[in-house]
Amino acid sequence: MIESLVPSGSTFAGDIDGLFVLICVIVGVFFFATLGMFLWMLVRFRARDGVPAQYITGNEPHLKTWITTPHAIIILCDVLLIVGALRVWYNVKQHMPEDVEVIGVVGQQWAWTFVHAGPDGKIDTSDDIAVIDEMHVQVDKEYVFRLESVDVLHSFSVPTWRLKQDAVPGRVILGWFEATLTGEFGIQCAEMCGIGHGIMGARLFVETAEEHAAWMAQAGGTSS
């Protein structure tokens, strides 16, 4: 459902979409059930000639069921949502790949700087490839990103990956991703960061191994 609006392009995008669909289904069922109940009551207890009004205290046992039963169902739904959310949270936030290539992501008013590893496969070395507002990654390959901000709060958002992580000044925040869909996609700042917030966008290029090697060679290095 969500994928029909925004392509699903990472390994954990489907899990996040599934969690949103679960929330929408549960909330939707209760919404329409409540709406239907109100409509039924409007018709059932409408003013009619010769029918006196009823005084209901709410203490009647058969009426209390209308409160206790929905509450019990809501609690079960809450447990289901918590379990699902914790599973997705662990997969996205806690399951950090090891011994993979790191990409530096630096937010500033109002641009993104992406620091790609050069031929040695490591960042913070002399052969780094730093690019403004362009991120290049290889499809079906795990990466760790190192997110920083040099001025104010920003938020690194890649809708096609279902990835959103705030960048906090003075902190280095790690995350990971594995792209599964090649092509060109959008990157945005999802945190109001000043007058130029609306133009703080970048482009994401997800490439095949051959395309990525060619880009690295053109940008200043050869693929490791």
Q: Are 160 and 7 in contact (CB under 8 A)?
A: yes
Tell me which residues of the chain have a pLDDT lower than 50: 222-224
Q: Is the dihedral of CA 98, 12, 189, 167 positive or negative?
A: negative
What is the rounded CA–CA span in Å between residue 111 and residue 196? Answer: 9
**Helix, strand, coil abundance in the chain, percent, nearest 5:** 35, 30, 35
- Tokens 């918590």 map to which residue? 82
pLDDT for 60 equals 76
Question: Which ranges of the chain would DSSP assign to H, the alpha helix?
Answer: 13-44, 61-89, 209-219
* Residue 142: count of CB within 10 angstroms of its CB: 17
- Give me the residue spans of the domains in the chain: 13-94, 101-219
199 alpha carbon, distance to own chain's centre: 21
Name the residue among 189, 192, 217, 18 with its Cα closest to residue 111: 189
Per-residue pLDDT tens over the stretch 190-217: 999 999 999 999 999 999 999 999 998 8
Using CA atoms in the order 45, 51, 53, 54, what is the torsion angle rounded to 10 degrees? -80
CA 182 – CA 195 distance, rounded (Å): 33
The CATH number of the structural domain formed by 101-219 is: 2.60.40.420
Q: What is the pLDDT of residue 221?
A: 52
